[in-house]
Amino acid sequence: MPGVYRHPIGDAMVTVVNDGFLDIPFEILRGAGQDDMRACMQSAFWKKPPRLTVNAFVIETAGRTILVDAGGGSNTIYSMGLLPENLAAAGFKPGDFDTVLLSHIHPDHSNGLLDPDGKAMFPRAELVIHKDDVAFWSDPKLRDKTMPAATPYLDSAQALLTTYRDQIRIAEGGTVAPGITQLPLPGHTPGHSGYRLDSAGESLVIWGDTVHIPEIQIPYPGVTSEFDIDEALAAENRRKIFDLVAAEGVLVAGMHLHLPAFAHVVKKAAGFRLVPESWAVAI
C-alpha cells in the first residue's frame, strides 16, 4: 500500500511519504530499565524489537515544493528505500523539488538524496543543513572525539556532502523558506534540527529525530541511544521541544512517528503522552 498521507496546514499542504522502517535492539537504548522499556512496547501490543518508521515530508507552500529529509535509500538496508515510489504515488517527481531541508546527516534521513549510482536524486534542489552538522561531518578531528557513535556514517556523510557540495546552503536556525523556521535541537548530532511551518494561523513542528521510538521516549524522555552523539543534550532538547509543543498545543510530525505521523503531545503527570492523529479520509 502506498505510504502517503496529506495534511493541510493553513495555506500549505504537507504530505508524509514513508520510506520504510528499521528494527533496533533494546540493548542500544539507555536511560530506563530494560523491563520498563519492554513493558512500554508490550502495552502497545508490540512483541518484537522496537520498530522505527522512516518518513520524509513534502511541504507545498508559497509556490515552493520542499522535501524535509529523504529516507535511507535503497542501498542502506532492505526495509528502506520506498521514497521514490511513494513520491510517485503522491504525484511528485524528483525534479519538482527546489529545496531539501535536512534534519541531520544520518543515513536513514539523507541516503535517499543519492540514487543507486551515487548521483543526486534531486538535481535542482538546494540542500539546507545546519552549519554544525556540516562542520562535524566534514572535520575528522570533531568526528574522532565521538567515536564510535559516528563511525558507521562517515562514508555516507562524505558521499552526500561531496555530491551536493555546490547545492548546499548552510543555516544557523531562523527562516529557511517562506513560513518555515529551522529549530536547532542538537544532541542527536551537533546540528540536528527540526523545522516549524507557520501558515495562515496554523503551525506544524517537524521534529526530526527528537523521538525514535514513541512508545518508549514519550513516557520516558530521558531514554537515549548509542546513535546520539551527546546523549545528555539529546535528552535535554527532547524535553524542551515536548514542553514547547505541549504548552502551545502545536501539531507535530516526526520522521519516526508511525503513520499517519502527525500527533499532539500532552502533559501527563510528570511526563508526556502522545495523541496520534486519526487517519482522515478527506482533506
Q: What is the pLDDT of residue 110?
A: 96
Which residues make beta-bridge pairs with 60?
Answer: 13, 65
Give me the half-sphere count of Cα atoms (radius 13 Å) on the Cβ side of residue 161. 20
Q: How far is CA 96 from CA 62, 64, 123, 142, 164, in A?
A: 14, 9, 10, 35, 17
CB–CB of 253/262 below 8 Å?
A: yes
Q: Is the dihedral of CA 31, 32, 37, 38 positive or negative?
A: positive
Answer whether residue 136 is part of any domain.
yes
Answer whether residue 102 is part of any domain.
yes
Structural domain boundaries, residue 247 = 4-276
Answer whether residue 86 is part of any domain.
yes
Answer whether residue 281 is part of any domain.
no
Dihedral angle computed from the Cα positions of residues 17, 21, 26 and 27, in that order, rounded to the nearest 10 degrees: -110
Q: What is the pLDDT of residue 271?
A: 85
In whole angstroms, give the CA distance from residue 103 to residue 165. Answer: 17
Q: What is the pLDDT of residue 155?
A: 84
CB–CB of 83/68 below 8 Å?
A: no
Answer whether residue 119 is part of any domain.
yes
265: domain CATH number is 3.60.15.10
Whole-angstrom Cα Rg for the chain: 18
Query: In sequence order, what DSSP letters do the residues of the chain get, joined into one string?
Result: ---EEEEEETTEEEEEEEEEEEE--GGGEESS-HHHHHHHHHHTT--SS-EEEEEEEEEEETTEEEEE-----TTT-TTB--HHHHHHHTT--GGG-SEEE-S---HHHHGGGB-TTSSBSSTT-EEEEEHHHHHHHH-HHHHHTTTTTTGGGHHHHHHHHHHTTTTEEEE-SEEEETTEEEEE-TTSSTT-EEEEEEETTEEEEE-TTS-S-HHHHTT-TT-EETT-SSHHHHHHHHHHHHHHHHHHT-EEE-TTSPTT-EEEEEEETTEEEEEEPPPPS--
Kindly report the number of other CB atoms within 10 A of residue 43's CB atom: 10
pLDDT digits (tens, 9 = 90+) for 22-62: 999 999 999 999 999 999 999 999 888 899 999 999 999 99
Answer whether residue 282 is part of any domain.
no
Answer whether residue 101 is part of any domain.
yes
Number of domains in the chain: 1
Q: What is the pLDDT of residue 283?
A: 79
Per-residue pLDDT of the chain (283 residues; tens, 9 = 90+): 899 999 999 999 999 999 999 999 999 999 999 999 999 999 999 888 899 999 999 999 999 999 999 999 877 677 999 999 999 999 999 999 999 999 999 999 999 999 999 999 999 999 999 999 999 998 877 776 665 566 668 888 999 999 999 999 999 999 999 999 999 999 999 999 999 999 999 999 999 999 999 999 999 999 999 889 999 999 999 999 999 999 999 999 999 999 999 999 999 887 899 999 999 888 7
Q: What is the pLDDT of residue 281?
A: 85
Answer whether residue 155 is part of any domain.
yes
